[in-house]
Chains A and B, each alone.
Chain A
Amino acid sequence: MASHASKAFLSLGRIHVSGVGLQKSLSRATYATGVSTHTGGGNKGRPDRGGQRQGFLKKNRRTSGEPRTDKMKVDQDWTSVYPTATPFRPSTVPLPVRMGYPTKGGVPPGKKGNLELIKIPNFLHLTPVAIRKHCEALKSFCTAWPSALGTDAQCDEHFPVKVESTDYMSAAPSLRNPSARVVHLRVKLSSLNLDDHARKKMLNLVRDRYCKDTDILTITAERCPLRKQNHEYAMYLLTVLYHESWKTEAWEAEKTVADMEEYSWEESPSQKNILSMLVRMKVAGEGEDEEVREQLLGRKEVQEYKNSVTRLRNEGESESTILQYKEAVKKVLNL
């Protein structure tokens, strides 16, 4: 569809150019009849061998008529003067433009015969009036954004998978850019149907591709030559990761304390230490080991101590965690 449109446009461009050529030759013909070339006759008598080319140029030179700018009305339709991107023509642009480095004690050179004005790309075909006209014509091809997806949160809720790709456009011998095949797939793990074990296994499988702060898993696919293939490969990877993380293998039962993602206080050296210390301090009084244990664990100070140690281990050291630990230790040991 797009290629068809571009081919149509290319063919338009060719027709347009041929039309321009035709028009220009016609216009030149009309100018030539209006102006008499008197200087041609004078040069014929003196054959100058050294400057034969210059003589030829002088003979055939017609003095140009008055520029088109003099005949332009103030309220003319500028979009028809410059309908497409065209180089700057001083006789067509009715502006007193000056461009270039100023001469000594002078001003920048004027627009007639000024190469600087021709070199720089001009936006004379894209005046606000022209843009409005173009957009009026293009509006019928646009579709409205659904109103139910006003905010980013709503978009994330209904469409959690984000696929990012880049197109490149530059002037070069080739249109292609090999970086255009790269596809990034981003998804929030909270939007996938994962239970606790599946989530932990998924994090172990993806490792660096997961960002803890934003809970976004990023899968980058660039191994296939086409973008479509990379997109499909990324979706395939996501599918495989999801299903594999729900599977429980036999060797997962051998998970040790070192493999655990989060610190848990139960069955940890910290729990054993604090219980043995409290028993030695004879806080709870005499009784069976199990009963004493249960009694101690049920105590508020021990629970606070447990919370503070867990927080310290999981979140790392910071002002608040260390302060909390200090308070808990003081309470537990009655300091």
Chain B
Amino acid sequence: MAAPMALRRELFSLGRVLSRVSHLGPRALGACSPHLKCYKIRSLLPLAPSTSFHTTTVLPSTPSPITVTEEPDALFQRVSVLVKGHDRAVLDSYEIFATMAANELGITKNKVYEPPKDMERLTLLKSIHIFKNHRVQYEMRTHYRCIELSHTTGCTAQVYLEYIQRNLPEGVAMEVTKTAMEKVPDHIKEPMWEEQPIDDKPSQ
């Protein structure tokens, strides 16, 4: 069972046209020879976004370069995404988005559930001076939503998490708990005392 190869990506694919334009700029500048005038390429940058704003995103014919590296891909047995927010409706919508994204990317969901909410209550004095019998009470409600994914590779988890995190709404916090799987390292396979007889003094 060979370890899967890692995929390195250089760009995030959202807003592909803009990314291609901005990437083209420095690359073209670097690639152009000294005698060519580089201002022609630079002028593309401010124009292109305004023409592509509010028009259909045209996917370029050449996809972003995907490089394959030799380092083995990480394996995550469980990736648990816990989102916290003050508004339950926002978390509902976010859950729909996250589960749909997981389905589309082919990631297996272990379970999607709602941990019970936390309420932090404060009872404070209403007046700045005296009037101890008159208080005001505040409470802060924190709603949770947990999406557990199982059996994802490092690349897939990175792509999914980056996509999820970039679209995290305002006022929502997230905790991602990743459980990576590793092999038993080689130096723990055999005890080292068999090769060397115990000649060092026992520690007391």
> Which residues in A have some Cβ–Cβ distance to B below 8 Å?
1-2, 4-6, 8-9, 11-12, 15-16, 18-20, 22-23, 26, 77, 79-81, 83-85, 120-121, 123, 125-126, 128, 131-132, 134-146, 148-149, 152, 155, 158-171, 187, 191-193, 198, 235, 238-239, 242-243, 246-251
Contacts and interface: CB of A to CB of B under 8 A. Distances in A.
8 contacts: A8-B12, A15-B45, A83-B15, A143-B5, A146-B4, A159-B181, A161-B184, A198-B191
A164 B177 contact: yes
B169 A121 contact: yes
A154 to B, nearest CB: 9
Contacts of B105: 135, 138-139, 142
B110 to A, nearest CB: 11
Contacts of A243: 191-193
B23 A128 contact: no
A15 B46 contact: yes
Interface stretch (B29-37, B112-120, B130-138, B160-168): B160-168
Interface string B37-62: 00000000110011001111101000
Nearest to B194: A246
Given A8-B22, A166-B175, A235-B185, A131 B100 contact: yes
Chain A contact residues: over half helix, strand or loop, or mixed? helix
Contacts of B14: 9, 84, 134, 137
Contacts of A193: 188-191
Interface of B: 1, 4-16, 18-19, 22-23, 45-46, 49-50, 53-57, 59, 63, 66, 73, 75, 77, 87, 89-90, 93-94, 97, 100-101, 104-106, 151-156, 158-160, 162-163, 165-185, 187-193, 198, 202, 204
A8 B19 contact: yes
Contact of B18 (A15, A125, A251): A15
A20 B54 CA distance: 9
Contact of B167 (A85, A132, A155, A248): A85
Contacts, number: 232
A23 B53 CA distance: 8
A18 to B, nearest CB: 7
A169 B93 CA distance: 19
A134 B163 contact: yes
B191 A246 contact: yes
A72 B82 CA distance: 38
B104 A131 contact: yes
A16 B49 contact: yes
A170 B84 CA distance: 9
Contact of A19 (B19, B50, B63): B50
B162 A2 contact: yes
Contact of A145 (B49, B151, B168, B193): B151
B153 A143 contact: yes
Contacts of B57: 79-80, 83
Contacts of A187: 184
A146 B151 CA distance: 9
A249 B193 CA distance: 12
Contacts of A142: 7, 105-106, 153, 155-156, 159-160
Given A80-B57, A138-B163, A143 B22 contact: no
A240 to B, nearest CB: 10
Contacts of A251: 202, 204
A212 B114 CA distance: 31
Contact of A5 (B9, B53, B106): B9
A135 B57 CA distance: 15
A121 B170 contact: yes
A148 B4 CA distance: 12
Given A159-B182, A239-B188, A250-B202, A19 B175 contact: no
Given A146-B1, A161-B181, A247-B198, A120 B100 contact: no
